Amino acid sequence: MTTTRGLEGVVATTSSISSIVNDVLTYRGYNIDDLAENASFEEVIYLLWNDKLPNKQELDQFSAKLAEDAVIPEEIINQIKSYPSDKVSPMAALRTAVSTLALYDEEADDMSEEANYRKAIRLQAKIPTVVTTFSRIREGKEPISPKKDLSFAANFLFTLNGEMPEEVAVTAINKALVLHADHELNASTFTGRVCVATLSDIYSGVTSAIGALKGPLHGGANERVMKMLSEIGSVENVDSYLHQAFEKKEKIMGFGHRVYKTGDPRAKHLKEMSRKLTELTGETKWYEMSTKMEQIVRDEKGLPPNVDFYSASVYHSLGIDHDLFTPLFAVSRVSGWIAHILEQYSNNRLIRPRAEYVGATNQSYVSVENR
Ligand code: ACO
């Protein structure tokens, strides 16, 4: 038996959803660069779930259904009000609320293809509302109901801030959502697939995926990037901060990747968005600090930035609370999780690898009095 730590390089399934070949990322065969420049997030969700881009009528119907299903049950709002919101992380709140949503979905355990697709839309639609409702409640504000005539990206900002968002912010959020939608067999997607491969329900799959995304080695890195930038404080401090971190062998959040070696193709889009948005806010220091960090970490460690690095200064520039960065990642990635969950159901086999046992052997039981 050979053990592969972290399953590095192990090909655990076939999939036709997204691919990473020679550091190029595609969704259903469409290059991420093309989609980031041109597609709405609604189109991308449809693409991931249906293996084709929607025509105008399909897109209109799909977008309308997403907007219609975005309202969350009153019971969930009341539960969120009961969370100790000054103490819990929004990712923990999201994980709990998504699990609770299943209790209010009569089709939760209906495993038919049709019911799973309906639940997919409900989950995709409601998750942003859960995030923004939590955010408003912890600020002592009333939750805002999503509007049926707004796009997915605009509704996120509207229900977060309670005012109509500016076009530039909607465009930025839409692009970030497109870029984060799917990423082959990343840790949270794999978690979701392992869960539903037992033929557990879609809510359980998404809840477990949220748990995996929360960790700082995965989606939790973007929040920590902003914490690091805030600690560094100015361009002049970047050099000494990084060299101290290198000396202490600390990981620099937002750098490195298990699969990409020359660079993460999503990072350049977020970098450009960071440049533009920090110019608009007049806080160019975040962009300048980030580019200086990129240069030093690349030169001295050979590590390029990943998707989480520039998304931090993008979201900060849009006025989003730092601990909502990872929930916003989940708002997008649920589209990919669901695509993978549906694919898993369509050709399922239980995922059950082995462990190489390295513990004690030939032990004999000794009664508790004699230990
Ligand atoms: N900063 C400093 N050194 C690093 C970093 C980093 N960000 N990433 C990797 N390294 C070094 C490691 O210390 C290790 O060095 P060593 O061989 O001398 O011990 C080597 O590169 C390999 O690193 P591993 O952690 O073994 O690589 P792995 O493939 O397991 O991890 C990961 C990939 C988790 C992304 C890693 O690069 C990391 O921790 N990055 C920081 C956290 C982060 O940004 N996560 C977001 C990833 S993107 C996403 O999930 C959305």
| Position 368 in a domain | no
**184 and 306 both lie in a single domain:** no
Residues 81 and 24 in one domain: yes
In angstroms, rounded to a whole number, what is the distance separating the alpha carbons of residues 197 and 136?
Answer: 36
Phi, psi of 25 (to 5 degrees): -105, 130
State yes or no: pLDDT of 136 exceeds 90.
yes
Which of 189, 214, 222, 255 has most ligand 1 atoms within 8 Å of CB, for mutation? 255
| Paired tokens of 95 | 């994980």
| One domain for residues 152 and 268 | no
**Whole-angstrom distance, CA of residue 7 vs CA of residue 331:** 27
In angstroms, the CA 238 to CA 253 distance is 14
Neighbours of 73 (CB within 10 A): 14
Q: Does the pLDDT at position 261 exceed 90?
A: no
**Unique residue bearing structure tokens 């959502």:** 177
| Residue range 238-251: mean pLDDT, rounded | 97
- Can you tell me which residue has the tokens 């076939």? 14
CA 314 to chain centre: 15
Within a domain: 366:
no
Of 228, 200, 202, the C-alpha closest to 216 is 228
Task: Give pLDDT tens digits for 341-359.
Answer: 999 999 999 999 999 999 9
How many angstroms is it from 255 CA to the middle of ligand 1? Answer: 7
Could you tell me the distance, in angstroms and rounded to a whole number, from the CA of residue 252 to the centre of ligand 1? Answer: 8
Gap between the Cα atoms of 92 and 210, Å rounded: 9
d(CA 91, CA 215): 10
Report the nearest atom of ligand 1 relative to the CA of 306.
48
Domain boundary among 280, 296, 317: 317
Same domain, 234 and 205: no
The CA 141 to ligand 1 mean position distance, Å, reads 39
Q: Does the pLDDT value for residue 86 go beyond 90?
A: no
Question: Looking at ligand 1, which residue's alpha carbon is closest to its atom 36?
Answer: 256
Q: Provide the residue type at 224 as one letter.
A: R
| pTM, full prediction | 0.96
Distance between Cα 297 and ligand 1 center (Å): 12
Cα distances (Å, whole numbers) of residue 358 to 1, 2, 3, 290, 321: 12, 12, 11, 43, 45
Q: What is the mean pLDDT of residues 310-317?
A: 97
Q: Is there a single domain that holds both residue 326 and residue 309?
A: no
Question: Which of 201, 16, 206, 210 shows the shortest CA–CA distance to 115?
Answer: 201
Same domain, 283 and 336: no
Q: Same domain for 51 and 133?
A: yes
Residue 161 lies in a domain: yes
**Is residue 53 situated within a structural domain?**
yes
Give the CATH number of the domain where residue 40 resides.
1.10.580.10
SS3 81: helix
User: Side by side, which strands form the sheet with 18-21?
Assistant: 18-21, 24-27, 30-31
Is 369 a domain residue? no
Active site residues: 257, 308
Tokens read off for 15: 């999939």
pLDDT at 14: 97
Q: Are residues 131 and 165 in the same domain?
A: yes
The answer to whether residue 249 sits within a structural domain is yes
Q: Does residue 156 sit in the same domain as residue 38?
A: yes
Q: Which atom of ligand 1 is nearest to the CA of 180?
A: 51
pLDDT tier for residue 239 given thresholds of 50, 70 and 90: very high
Task: Write the pLDDT tens digit of every residue in 25-61.
Answer: 999 999 999 999 999 999 999 999 999 999 999 999 9
Joined tokens for residue 352 = 């059950």
The model's confidence at residue 2, banded by pLDDT at 50, 70 and 90, is confident
Ligand 1 atom closest to the CA of 218, numbered from 1: 50
Please check whether residue 70 lies inside any domain of the structure: yes
DSSP string over 311-332? HHHHHHHTT--GGGHHHHHHHH
Which residues, 6 or more positions from 190, have their beta carbon under 8 angstroms from its beta carbon? 12, 212
**Does 260 share its domain with 134?**
no
Q: Do residues 81 and 209 both lie within one domain?
A: yes
Cβ(54)–Cβ(62) under 8 Å? yes
> Are both 195 and 273 inside the same structural domain?
no
Beta bridge partners, 52, equal none
How far is it, in rounded angstroms, from Cα 134 to Cα 113?
Answer: 31
**How far from each other are the two terminal CA atoms of the chain, in whole angstroms?**
34
Number of domains in the chain: 2
For the segment 319-332, the average pLDDT, to the nearest whole number, is 97
> Is residue 69, in this structure, part of any structural domain at all?
yes
Range of the domain at 308: 221-317
Q: For 141-190, how does the pLDDT look when each residue is reduced to its tens digit (9 = 90+)?
A: 999 999 999 999 999 999 999 999 999 999 999 999 999 999 999 999 99
Q: What is the CATH number of the domain that holds 296?
A: 1.10.230.10
CA distance 361 to 45: 51
The protein residue with its alpha carbon nearest to ligand 1, atom 27, reads: 258
Q: What pLDDT is attached to residue 13?
A: 96
